[in-house]
Amino acid sequence: MSETSKPGNFITQIIDKDSENGKHGGKVLTRFPPEPNGYLHIGHAKSICLNFGIAQRYQGQCNLRFDDTNPEKESVEYIESIKRDVTWLGFEWKEEPKFASDYFDALFEFACELIKKGKAYVCELNADEMREYRGTLKEPGKDSPYRDRTAEENLALFEAMRDGQFPDGEKVLRAKIDMASPNINLRDPIIYRIRHVHHHQTGDKWCVYPMYDFTHGLSDAIEGVTHSICTLEFQDHRPLYDWILETLETFHPQQIEFARLNLNYTVTSKRKLKQLVDDGHVEGWDDPRMPTISGMRRRGYTAQSIRNFCERIGVTKSDSVVDVGMLEHAVREDLDANANRAMVVLNPIKVTLTNYPEGKEEIFTVSNHPKNEDAGTREVPFSKHLFVDQADFAEVPPRKWKRMTPGSAVRLRGGYVITCDEAIKDENGNVVELLCRYDENTLGVNPEGYKPKGVIHWVSAEHALDAEVNLYDRLFNHESPDAKHEDKTFLDFINPEALTVASNAKLEPSLLNAEPGVGYQFEREGYFCRDLNAERLVFNRTVTLRDSWAKIEAKGK
């Protein structure tokens, strides 16, 4: 679907109205402004789809801008990962990526201008005093004793701050707005602070850094952003955003807030995701259990399915929690339509066909996709020795069993019908091998008079590839790991079964050339892709064939 034919939302309504009124001459410029202090997650994907999607819809432009005002927490690694993730999701920014730090000179000048207008002052209250003077939601704040300094004095002090004459925290620059404002954001907020730290972009040029609220609106103004879309928690900051732009008489983008994406069974906070990485609960930011874009990519989620999901959940003004099952559904749906099929036995048990000649080999031609002929066919070798999955055999079958059991027949997918005669056990009584007979008249046709009830997947033992298969599941086993829990944190809800490894999996040989990241349906098992990082043959389970959590949840209710 092209962007213009997609259904609109309350933001496109605002933009349509602006265009009708000739505001900005019909121009639309949005931006996606991550702080490079972590990897992007599924929540950011929503913001990316929204901002870049709007630019596409109106033939406008969306900037990628790094909001890099906190050098201690930021890094070039994060910057590079963010660029990779936006590109992988399928979006393009025009021109070079932008950085708030590109504007540090301009921002310093803007701050000086506020001082000259009598709208900012250097304050020396320490953090505790600052808190005390700020007041509370119920009580107004008190004016700082430094509030009435002259512009000249403030300017000289601010320049001295920039020139490194004071240690961290000794002085700050504050906007002079209203200490009695019911909106605490307007009670003379700090707009510059002293930090003697190296910055990944500007090196050691600065020891004063602008605060987020001051930087954000002015960066938007400098770039000529027409619609500055952000999440709901910034609604209370909008009056400050507006105050800064009005006081400085600059170009004035309109800030529009929408509800952030919350997903159940998921944590979407960079701080918490970083904790999972730093404390070793996962193997890294791109661990396939992580809700990061790089984790989802490595797990096998497609960019298309993430975009479809973001489209479906829509854009609203009220906070809600989306079922992660919807995301998994979007992944399943895309892979069902597009992933080639393959046969993989996760927990192998040997099958010997007693009436099949030793050393004989046949090649079956099997279609890659049951519903899409264009996907073509592949060759699957067959021989006397096979592997099937342990789960497909039961010595004493439950009722309605359709798979292997002594005395009954099953079809091997794409191959013959076989009948199990005997299960061979080891000294502990575990079944280690199944002796079966094949019926040579059943290749592609059902035998006269009966139709085997079940179809199972298999791999020829002599041709099989050995691989490790990571069976991933949801990282948290609680619906809202992030909520306030008595005595518990989100870490207590990590699902110990979020990763189990099938270390002895047997793959059909065509998978030797599987491209990393490309999805397959392993017949009857789920969707998988070859791991992007591993040098050996490792596959990751992207998602199961059906939503097994829905059943668990239904039971719990």
Residues with a known catalytic role = 35, 260, 270
Using CA atoms, how far residue 42 sits from 136, 191, 237, 309, 421, in Å, is 35, 30, 24, 10, 51
Smallest gap, in angstroms, from Cβ of residue 84 to ligand ATP? 15
Nearer to ligand ATP, 47 or 308 (CB): 47
Smallest gap, in angstroms, from Cβ of residue 261 to ligand ATP? 4
Q: How many residues of this chain interact with ligand ATP, rule: CB under 6 A?
A: 15
Decide if residue 275 touches ligand ATP (CB under 6 A): no
Report DSSP state, residue 411. E
Binder of ligand ATP out of 86, 177, 230, 293 (CB under 6 A): 230
Binder of ligand ATP out of 24, 28, 33, 240 (CB under 6 A): 33
Decide if residue 269 touches ligand ATP (CB under 6 A): yes
Q: Distance (Å, rounded) from C-alpha 32 to C-alpha 219?
A: 12
Does the annotation flag 477 for ligand binding? Answer: no
Does the annotation flag 41 for ligand binding? Answer: yes
> Residue with the closest Cβ to ligand ATP?
43
Smallest gap, in angstroms, from Cβ of residue 243 to ligand ATP? 20
Nearer to ligand ATP, 46 or 329 (CB): 46
**Numbers of helices and strands, H then E, in the chain:** 13, 27
For the chain, report the end-to-end CA distance as a whole number of angstroms.
38
Decide if residue 268 touches ligand ATP (CB under 6 A): yes
Decide if residue 207 touches ligand ATP (CB under 6 A): no
Distance of CA 62 to the CA centre of its chain: 20
Q: What is the DSSP string of 4-42?
A: GGS---HHHHHHHHHHHTTGGGG--EEEE---SSS--BH
Does the annotation flag 196 for ligand binding? Answer: no
The answer to whether the Cα torsion of 83, 87, 91, 94 is positive or negative is: positive
Q: Which residue stretch of 263-271, 308-316, 474-482, 491-499 sits at the interface with ligand ATP (rule: CB under 6 A)?
A: 263-271
Decide if residue 307 touches ligand ATP (CB under 6 A): no
Residue closest to 52 by CA, chosen among 27, 25, 87: 87
Question: Measured at the alpha carbon of residue 472, what is the angle toward residues 405 and 497, in degrees to the nearest 5?
Answer: 80
Smallest gap, in angstroms, from Cβ of residue 260 to ligand ATP? 3
Decide if residue 83 touches ligand ATP (CB under 6 A): no
Q: 535 CB contacts (<8 Å, ≥6 apart)?
A: none
Nearer to ligand ATP, 34 or 53 (CB): 34
* Secondary structure, 3-state, 456-496: ECCEECCCCEEEEEEEECCCECCCCCCCCECCECHHHHECC
CA-based Rg of the chain, rounded to a whole angstrom?
31
Q: What is the dihedral of CA 450, 455, 457, 458, to 10 degrees?
A: -10
Binder of ligand ATP out of 12, 47, 81, 215 (CB under 6 A): 47
Does the annotation flag 37 for ligand binding? Answer: yes
479-498: contacts with ligand ATP (CB under 6 A): none
Smallest gap, in angstroms, from Cβ of residue 212 to ligand ATP? 8
3-state secondary structure of 375: helix
Does the annotation flag 301 for ligand binding? Answer: no
Q: Which residue stretch of 30-38, 69-77, 141-149, 168-176 sits at the interface with ligand ATP (rule: CB under 6 A)?
A: 30-38
In the complex, the residues that contact ligand ATP under the rule CB under 6 A are 33-35, 43-44, 46-47, 230-231, 260-261, 268-271
Binding residues for ATP: 35-37, 41-47, 231, 260-261
Instruction: Extract the annotated binding site for L-glutamine.
Output: 67, 212
